[in-house]
């Protein structure tokens, strides 16, 4: 919120909001997923824009919500009206506000992991990198095999824990090879999985959401 407020936006956080419903939808619990769609519409319909710190969730809003309410034309119409107003944070900053330099300062070495849904579903492209490149003091280092999945995949990590853990280990080893202090991504779910793997492997780097980096200022580092 602090980042968007710094950029001149009036920000609200509707307390009735819940999960986007992707977990239910991906596992076939469509009735439960539909309930979250109704909640999403009721919570966010009054606003000009909906901004999420997760490309995975925005991908669900764009490509699953309309499918879930196909048998409810009235709800489907409301969902259709909300989809164009729903943005991943990096999309909103660049496509709506028209900025790449948000006045951030983050004097650390960073490697960026483009999460599967940000690349393949939400299709944010190079927007996160364009924003990171403008951060004062930040040194961006390429991540080997960057577009390879980290292994989380929602319920995939539950149903296939050994495979998930192996993929997470590969991701962390690649991140560690860069020598960066920080691994950055735009989906908290992937950061949770990678962060847990880092803890188990006792790796000397930390996972940080891109929003935290973009919200960081020089004044904060001087305190």
CATH 3.40.50 fits domain 109-222: yes
Look at residue 1 in the predicted model and tell me its pLDDT. Answer: 80
pLDDT at residue 145 is higher than 70: yes
Mean pLDDT of 100-125: 95
Contact 135, 214 (CB under 8 A): yes
Domain ranges of the chain: 2-94, 109-222
CB count within 10 Å of CB 222 equals 7
pLDDT at residue 222 is higher than 50: no
> H helices within 45-150, ranges in order?
55-63, 65-68, 73-82, 89-91, 116-120, 127-132
Q: What is the pLDDT of residues 149-163, one digit of tens each?
A: 999 988 888 889 999
Give this prediction's pTM: 0.92
Rounded to 10 deg, the angle between the 188-201 and 161-177 helix axes is 80
């Amino acid at each position: 919120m602090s980042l968007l407020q710094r950029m001149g936006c009036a920000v609200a956080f509707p307390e009735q909001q819940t999960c986007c419903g992707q977990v239910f939808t991906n596992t076939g619990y469509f009735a439960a997923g539909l309930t979250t769609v109704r909640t999403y519409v009721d919570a966010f319909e009054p606003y000009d824009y909906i901004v999420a710190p997760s490309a995975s969730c925005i991908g669900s809003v764009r490509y699953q919500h309309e499918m879930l309410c196909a048998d409810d034309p009235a709800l489907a119409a409301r969902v259709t009206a909300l989809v164009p107003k729903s943005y991943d944070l990096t999309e909103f900053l660049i496509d709506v506000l028209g900025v790449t330099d948000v006045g951030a300062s983050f004097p650390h070495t960073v490697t960026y992991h483009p999460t599967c849904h940000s690349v393949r579903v939400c299709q944010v492209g190079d927007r996160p990198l364009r924003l990171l490149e403008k951060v004062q003091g930040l040194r961006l280092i390429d991540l080997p095999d960057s577009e390879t999945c980290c292994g989380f995949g929602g319920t995939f990590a539950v149903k296939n824990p050994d495979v998930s853990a192996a993929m997470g280990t590969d991701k962390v080893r690649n991140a560690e090879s860069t020598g960066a202090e920080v691994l950055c991504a735009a989906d908290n779910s992937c950061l949770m999985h990678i962060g847990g793997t880092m803890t188990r492997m006792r790796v000397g780097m930390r996972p940080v959401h891109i929003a935290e980096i973009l919200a960081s200022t020089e004044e904060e580092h001087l305190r």
